[in-house]
């Protein structure tokens, strides 16, 4: 709140918060130091895909990935919906600008989607495995 009789002068500067966070060592199943930049975004993507959207009240409704409801659907639907769900989940992170170059392979009740994630720190390729 600005006190009565006061005004804002000068330039406003927008400061981006750091990406620094705990590093999850998945091989040893423990936290091992810190990570930042592109590695922190990769880790955030992994965590998003491992969290079912709408299933945990600790997270708001924009966090996580909707993996349910794809089994038994036509492959065209699965391809379109998987692309939409992946893109929607990742674009909630303001460090990610685009999700492109999807390649989706469907075998039986399993769909594997590979794609490129464009971030403010650089790009990387990753994949999601959706199965029943």
- Report pLDDT digits (tens) over 69-104: 888 899 999 999 999 999 999 999 999 999 999 999
The pLDDT score that the predictor gives to residue 6 is 62
Confidence class for position 5, pLDDT limits 50, 70, 90: low
The pLDDT score that the predictor gives to residue 11 is 77
Topology at the third CATH level for domain 21-131 = Nuclear Transport Factor 2; Chain: A, (3.10.450)
Nearest to 22 by CA among 11, 31, 10: 31
DSSP per position, 62-81: TSSB--SS-TTS-HHHHHHH
The pLDDT score that the predictor gives to residue 12 is 74
Beta bridge partners of 64: none
Q: pTM of the prediction? A: 0.83
pLDDT at residue 2 greater than cutoff 60? no
pLDDT at residue 8 greater than cutoff 60? yes
CB 72 within 8 A of CB 83: no
Q: Where are the domains of the chain?
A: 21-131
- Report pLDDT digits (tens) over 96-132: 999 999 999 999 889 999 999 999 999 999 999 987 5
Confidence class for position 1, pLDDT limits 50, 70, 90: low
């Amino acid at each position: 709140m600005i006190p009565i009789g006061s005004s804002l002068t000068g330039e406003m500067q927008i400061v981006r918060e750091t990406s620094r966070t705990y590093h999850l060592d998945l091989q040893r199943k423990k936290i091992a130091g810190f990570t930042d930049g592109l590695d922190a975004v990769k880790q955030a993507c992994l965590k998003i895909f491992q969290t079912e959207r709408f299933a945990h009240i600790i997270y708001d409704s924009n966090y996580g990935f909707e993996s349910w409801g794809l089994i038994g659907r036509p492959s065209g639907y699965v391809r379109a919906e998987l692309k939409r769900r992946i893109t929607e989940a990742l674009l909630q992170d303001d460090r990610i600008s685009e999700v492109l170059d999807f390649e989706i392979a469907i075998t039986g009740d399993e769909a594997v989607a590979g794609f490129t994630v464009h971030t403010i720190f650089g790009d990387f390729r990753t994949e999601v495995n959706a199965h029943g």
